[in-house]
Chains A and B, each alone.
Chain A
């Protein structure tokens, strides 16, 4: 005797449930599986970041220091780049088109010929970033950017601030 009871086949009094093919999704193990995938990935990423950190910090270059620029002068050629250095006191000479001066980084000094007017804060001993290219040993710049340090010191306390003055 054989009768069908909603999905179950009853054979000889014993109900035999049809086995559904196992579902591929197993909810309880999902969280653990996620962690298992996540861990090696995290380790790989952390390791790679650590290795890269040093390489990249020097690779993303906003400017070269005057020292680096002079050392790389042959490879830089006449390409345009930014160069950092401190304005050497006593070298600033105003010209018709702009200003000539020298910048120094450690012991390397580069003569800069600027076309265009320098910014307000431009003065001896201030760190600047100049934009331009080498021509021979001199650096032709068409923009000076003053790089202010993170230190803020009050101007000479005895001096009264003069109206609109910036120095």
Chain B
């Protein structure tokens, strides 16, 4: 299959880009003025957080397309679910890498400032979304309800992003996506960070396609099982 080859290629490119980010981040880029070698988490933590936002964005768009009657299609629901699953993983990674970064720089693993608290809530909101999907056996009910839940959960995403602007936080403000859109990082450090963003975004796209394919297979399998059960019932009657 041609398209499958393309997906495989995409996966390979994503892995290579991540490897390149690691090599650049760990060996080529200089230590920073204040942070020293701790700065190297910069090439991982913001890109991972960005992928979480991106994943939830895709979930929301797919949920809206599902809820809107003119574009309703079960495939949107599967895309939303696949993306949310990746989003939860990347939110967890954001919290983990942030915590690992926070300990040596701030001096604490965790603190209850607005950015950290809203991110933790974001994680829980989408864990709830996934739990709701699991707990609702009927396909149409599941799709509709989880789409509504996804949209409610997404309200938190802009709050997380703006929290460092709206409130005084220990967490620093945005380095790249700030109000003036002028990155506060330069030279090879900036290029490595950009590569990190691209690498993790590619990885996200690859994961989304694969997860979606699995979701399609699962739903097909359920249809076949259902049909089998029906046939069995009919033959005994």
Q: Which residues of A contact B (CB under 8 A)?
A: 57, 60-63, 84, 118-123, 126, 129, 143-157, 161, 164-167
Contact = CB atoms under 8 A, between A and B. Distances in A.
B168 A84 contact: yes
A161 B30 contact: yes
Closest 4 CB pairs of A and B: A119-B107, A166-B36, A154-B30, A152-B185
Contacts of A148: 34-35, 105-106, 172
B170 A155 contact: no
A83 B90 CA distance: 32
B189 A61 contact: no
User: DSSP majority for the B interface?
Assistant: loop
Interface of B: 29-39, 42, 104-108, 111-114, 166-170, 172-175, 178, 184-189
B30 A61 contact: no
A165 B37 contact: yes
Contact of A120 (B42, B107, B186, B187): B107
A153 B36 CA distance: 10
A145 B169 CA distance: 12
Contacts of B32: 152-155
A129 B168 CA distance: 11
A86 B31 CA distance: 22
25 contacts: A60-B114, A61-B168, A62-B112, A62-B114, A62-B168, A120-B105, A120-B107, A121-B34, A121-B35, A143-B108, A144-B107, A147-B106, A147-B170, A148-B35, A152-B32, A154-B187, A154-B189, A155-B32, A157-B30, A161-B31, A164-B37, A165-B31, A165-B36, A166-B35, A166-B37
